[in-house]
Amino acid sequence: MTLSWWGSAHATGYDVKRATKPGGPYVTIGTANATDTFFTDTKVTDGNNYYYVVSAQGPDGESATSAELKVAQSLASRYDFDGNAKDTIGTNGATVNGAPNYAPGKVGAQAIALDGADDYVTLPKGVANFQDVTIAAWVYWDGGGNFQRIFDFGSEVEANMFLTPKSNIGKLLFSITTTRAAEGSGTLEAPALPANEWAHVAITLNGDTGTLYVNGKAVAAGTVTLDPLFAQTNCYIGKSQYPDPLFKGRIDDFRIYNYALSGEQVAVLAKGN
């Protein structure tokens, strides 16, 4: 876990402190010198919650601590689309564009039904701005044109990540790039999603490894060195950064995790849990 903070003009150094519950007690786990306003905590365990504060050392002694920062692996946003576009576990409520309907869903009562003409969903800026990430959803694709988007998060065609049910070569395609799909980009491909049936899809980015899942099974994996830490001013479900066709079909139980789920955990999601 890499922490960074704004420095203090008169600091001679910093103390980094950690606790395992809100409010402490805190234990000093390291220090940084006056010119280094960052610290990497390597002694962390998957699944644990951590609470960090930083204090400055200076001519008058130790300052008060910073505001507490909670760091935890968690489900960051979830969109059930049961008649609305609310984030059911947080505050990242989405905005619907066009006039989508809500139709029978795969998980829960309803799913959002996008017409492929003018319907799409806009999520808040930076909603998936995590170094490691899992994005998962139930998808009922009606078929149609290539490069429809299940999701597309980024700022433009040169900095985004997206998942399409069918590319121009007939593949389910995940792509992440900061150079318009040139050097340094990452792609994962698998057979195109079947039309007119429900499928569970998920993408995980874990360190330098990306894995694409369909119905709980890994269908592609490979080296993906990019992280989605670029600007995400345009976060869409059903719409592309490019002038590609809008998605036609239903989306249900759209989830964003701030870490990479294991294959076993993705398989549980694909069972509707």
Report how far apart, in Å, the C-alpha atoms of 91 and of each of 81, 117, 164, 214, 234 are: 15, 28, 27, 28, 17
Tell the residue number behind the tokens 């601590």, with chain if given. Answer: 65
The mean per-residue pLDDT over the stretch 44-63 comes to 93
At 214-240, the pLDDT tens digits run 999 999 999 999 999 999 999 999 999
Q: pLDDT at position 183, please?
A: 63
Q: Hey, what are 110's tokens?
A: 């309803």
| Coil vs helix vs strand at 96 | strand
> Rounded mean pLDDT of the chain?
95
Q: pLDDT at position 195, please?
A: 97
Would you say residue 184 has pLDDT above 80? no
Domains defined along the chain, listed by start: 2-71 (2.60.40.10), 75-269 (2.60.120.200)
Would you say residue 272 has pLDDT above 90? no
Sequence-ordered list of residues with C-beta below 8 angstroms from that of 177, at least 6 positions apart, any chain: 158, 159, 160, 161, 184, 185, 186, 226
| Coil vs helix vs strand at 87 | coil
At 126-141, the pLDDT tens digits run 999 998 999 999 999 9
